Amino acid sequence: MNYCPLCRTELVIKEVKDSEVQGCPKCGFTNWDNPTPVATGLLLRGGKIVIVRSRTRGNQWGLPSGFVERDERAEDALVREVKEETNLESSVLSALGTYAIDNGRKKILLIAYEAIAQDGRLAPSSEISEIDEVPPDAALKLLKGMEERRILETWLKGRLKST
Ligand SMILES: [Zn+2]
């Protein structure tokens, strides 16, 4: 952002609570550059984890996920994205934490859940190039994103504690 969206004045760098943000010297607008929320899920199906390769996410193996839409709860966003990407109906079981990602272009707040898929035929959307269901240890090797592996590790630790 170069210009103030409110008054079109050129933005300057200002310091707020030890961090540098863009601000407008004329009207006081601050560009907080807040992260965009993305819901993601460890989708369980018969002891396996459903993983997808999305063309919009570098075609690497990852967990089903998507941007939270306006007026939407993160849990509902996940159920909607799972249906879109895999054709499966699902229910959210528990929260697995939040993770901050900065991929250089965009700041993302990943909101992770454990979810269970109902029976149904796996059918990828056009955005998904490949879909698979694998045991947790295989998923740990296949998942490309560091945060997605951490989500899986968090889930595995929780499962060990409860048995
Ligand atoms: Zn301004």
* Torsional sign, CA 80, 84, 90, 96: negative
Write down the mean pLDDT value for the chain: 94
Q: If you measure from the C-alpha of residue 102 to the centroid of ligand 1, how many angstroms do you get, rounded to a whole number?
A: 26
d(CA 79, CA 151): 17
CA angle 128, 112, 38 (to 5 degrees): 60
Is the pLDDT assigned to residue 162 strictly greater than 80? Answer: no
Secondary structure of residue 87 in the 3-state scheme: coil
Each residue's pLDDT tens digit, 32-68 = 989 999 999 999 999 999 999 999 888 999 999 999 9
**Stretch (H or E) spanning 23:** strand 19-23
Exposed/middle/buried for 35, CB within 10 Å: 0-12, 13-18, 19+? middle
**Helix (H), strand (E) at residue 76:** helix 74-86
Task: State the fold for domain 36-162.
Answer: Nucleoside Triphosphate Pyrophosphohydrolase (3.90.79)
The DSSP element (H or E) to which 11 belongs, if any, is: none
The pLDDT, as a whole number, for residue 144 is: 92
How close is the Cα of 18 to the center of ligand 1, in Å?
A: 22
Ligand 1 centroid–CA 27 distance in Å is 4
At residue 88, what is the residue type? L
Domain-wise residue ranges, the chain: 1-33, 36-162
Q: If you average pLDDT over residues 17-24, what whole number do you get?
A: 90
Query: Average pLDDT for residues 23-38, to the nearest whole number?
Result: 94
With 80 as the cut, is the pLDDT of residue 31 above it?
yes
Is pLDDT of 85 > 90?
Answer: yes
Residue 148: is its pLDDT beyond 80?
yes
Q: Tell me the CA–centroid distance for residue 37 and ligand 1, in Å.
A: 26
Q: How far is the CA of 33 from the centre of ligand 1 (A)?
A: 16
Pairing status of strand 19-23 against strand 12-16: antiparallel
**Cα distance between residue 48 and residue 45, in whole Å:** 5
Q: Are 68 and 111 in contact (CB under 8 A)?
A: yes
Closest CA to 56 of 26, 81, 28: 81
Beta bridge pairs of residue 53: 61, 130
pLDDT score of 163 = 60
Distance 62 CA to ligand 1 centre (A): 40
